[in-house]
Amino acid sequence: METSALYPYPSRRYVTYAARGMCATSNHLAAQAGVDMLKKGGNAFDAAIAAAACLVVLEPQTNGAGSDAFAIFTQNGGKLQGMNSTGVMGRGFDLQKMRDKGYKEMPHYGFEPVTVPGAPAAWAAINEKYGRLPLTEVLAPAISYAREGQALCTITWSSINTMASRMRENTDCGPQFDEWFRIFMPGGEAPRPGQLFRNPDLADTLEAIAKTQAKDYYQGEIADRIVAASHKFGGFLEKEDLMEHEVQWVQPLSVPYHGYEVWELPPNGQGIIALMALNILNGFEPSPLDDPLGVHRQIEATKLAFIDGLRYIADPRYMEVSPEEMLSPEYAAARRKLIGQTAIEPAPGNPKNPGTVYLCAADNEGNMISYIQSNYAGFGSGVVVPGTGIALQNRGKGFSLDPESPNAAAPGKRPYHTIIPGFLTKDGKPVGPFGVMGGFMQPQAHVQVMTKLIDCGLNPQVCIDAPRWLWTAGKEVHVETEFSTYLADSLAQRGHKIVFDTNRGGFGKGQMILRTPFGTLIGGTEPRCEGACAAW
C-alpha cells in the first residue's frame, strides 16, 4: 500500500499530516481537546479519553455518559490489545414476560432496552492503566463545555428535533422522557444553531466520574439514581448489575488481506463481519478503483458475511460457533464459491463444516488507539436519568426475543453490538487505527475503506471521502447520490437493485490515522459531519 496524493473523487478535505500527535473525531472541539492533552504532556490514551468525554457533551445525539465502548490499541508500538466495556441486561429481565406483553422484538425507546452502561468504566480503566495525566485533567474540557456551555451545531439541532418528533409520535411516550425534553427542548423547542447550550447536571456527573475513577457511577450516588429511575420507569437494572460491571481486556481478531492484517474485536461486536468479508475477498486478485466486478464481489462477500453474523454473533458465552470457525480459510473458500457474476440472495452458512461516535488518536511514542462509544440509535433510549444529565443507551435493542436464538435476551448477558473499532498492521507492526460508525453500515464501510486503502493505494482522506454503498437486504443496495452512475448501472446489470439514497447520515462517519514510513502521521476525517483531524 502506497497512499496516493491523487484525489479521484470530488474531495471535501485535504489529508492531514503531523509529526507529534493527532486526534481525529466527528467534532472539531473534541479533536482539539485531545491534542491539548498531548501538548500538556499526555499520551494518545489521554487524548482519546478527553475527546470521548467531550463528544458526550458536544454530540449528545450519538453518545452519552450512558453509552458503551470498545477500543483496540497499541502501547509504544507493541502488540495490539483490545477492550470491551459493554454492559449486560439487568437481572430483573424476563424474556417470557416481554413476549407475554406482546413484544415481538425489543422496544426502541424507554428503559426496557437499557443495559449497564460501560463508557465511564472504559474511560477510567484506560486512564488508570495506560494514561499519563489524572482523569480530573483529562475530563476537564468536557466538564467545562457542559457547565459553561458551547454553541449548538446544526446537526445536533436537527437531531434533537427529529428525536422529539419520534417520541411524541410514540404512543408509550410518558413521564420517563420528561427529563430528556427538559434538557434538550427547554421551553418546548430545541436551542437554535449557534445558541449556547449547557448541561450543568452532566457537568456534575462528569466531575464525579473524574474524581472517583468512575466508582461513584457504578457504586455510589450516581448508581443509586440510575437504579431508582430504572425501578420507576420499568427498567431491569439493579445496583448489583452496576457494581458487577467490569471492563474486559480481550485479544483482537485478524485476517490477512493482500499483504496486511486487518484487526477487529471479537463478539459480542459485529467486527467479525468485516473480517469474514475480507477473508472471502482475499482469495480474489486486487481490483482497480471502482471496477464493477470488484465492487460486485465486495457487496456479495459482505452480504454473505453479514447474514452469517446476524445468525451467529452473540455474547461469546452463548455462541453456537467460535470466531475461529467463522474466520477459517476453509469456510471463507466455501463462501467465496457462492460469488459469481450476478447478485445472489444470501443465506447463512454453517461454519462448522470443515470449517455511533468513533475517534482515534496517536502520539510520537508509538501509542495509537482506535476507540468507539455509542448510544446505539440517535439519543438511544430517550431516557435521561433525572438530575444527572446521563442519556442512556438502548443497546438491549440488539437482542432477539426469539428464545431459540443465541442472541436471545437474558439477565447478565451482553447483546449483539454494532459498534466496532478497527486497526491495520503490516508484518505484525502497527500501521494505524480506523473506524466508520453508523449501525449496520459499520462493517460494510470497513470493507470499503480497507479495499480502497490497500488495493488502490489511496490516502486516508480519499478513502473516507469516497461515495459509499450500503447493502440492506436481499439484492437491494443503497448508494450515495455522488456514487458513479456508470458503476451503479453496471451493478444493476449484475442483478443488484440499486437505490440512490439522499440520507447521507445512513452511510456512516469515519476517521483514520496511519503512521507513515517516515515515522510521521497521516490522517483523514469524515466530511459527512463536522469531522476534524487535529494535529500537533
**Which residues are known to be catalytic?**
356
Contact 333, 431 (CB under 8 A): no
Per the listing, cell 503531523 goes with: 18
CA 110, 421, 118, 37 torsion: positive or negative? Answer: negative
**Radius of gyration for the chain, computed over Cα atoms and rounded to the nearest angstrom:** 22
Give the DSSP letter of residue 4: B
For the beta sheet containing 532-535, the strands, ordered from the edge strand earlier in sequence to the opposite edge, are 248-250, 81-85, 68-74, 368-374, 358-363, 21-25, 532-535
* β-bridge mates for residue 197, sequence order: 150
Task: Render the burial of 83-97: b for 16+ CB within 10 Å, e for the rest.
Answer: bbbbbbbbeebebee
* β-bridge mates for residue 264, sequence order: 253
Q: How far apart are CA 160 and CA 158, in angstroms?
A: 5
Q: How far apart are CA 447 and CA 434, in angstroms?
A: 11
Nine cell digits for residue 461: 482522506
Q: How far apart are CA 352 and CA 359, in angstroms?
A: 36
Contact 326, 496 (CB under 8 A): no
Q: How far apart are CA 438 and CA 508, in angstroms?
A: 4
Contact 522, 447 (CB under 8 A): no
Chain CA centroid to CA 200, Å: 27
Q: In terms of residues, how long is the chain? A: 536
Nine cell digits for residue 279: 477473508
Burial class (CB in 10 A: 0-12, 13-18, 19+), 332: buried
Nine cell digits for residue 150: 458551547
Contact 527, 7 (CB under 8 A): no
Q: What DSSP line would sit under 310-370, residue for residue?
A: HHH-S-GGG-SS-HHHHT-HHHHHHHHTT--SS--------TTS----EEEEEETTS-EEE
Q: What DSSP line would sit under 456-504, residue for residue?
A: T-B-HHHHHHS--EEEEETTEEEEETTS-HHHHHHHHHTT-EEEEE--G
Nine cell digits for residue 21: 500527535
Exposure on the CB side of residue 256, measured as CA atoms within 13 A: 9
Sort strands 509-515 and 429-437 into parallel, antiparallel or unpaired.
antiparallel
- What lies within 8 Å, CB to CB, of 484 at 6+ separation is 290, 467
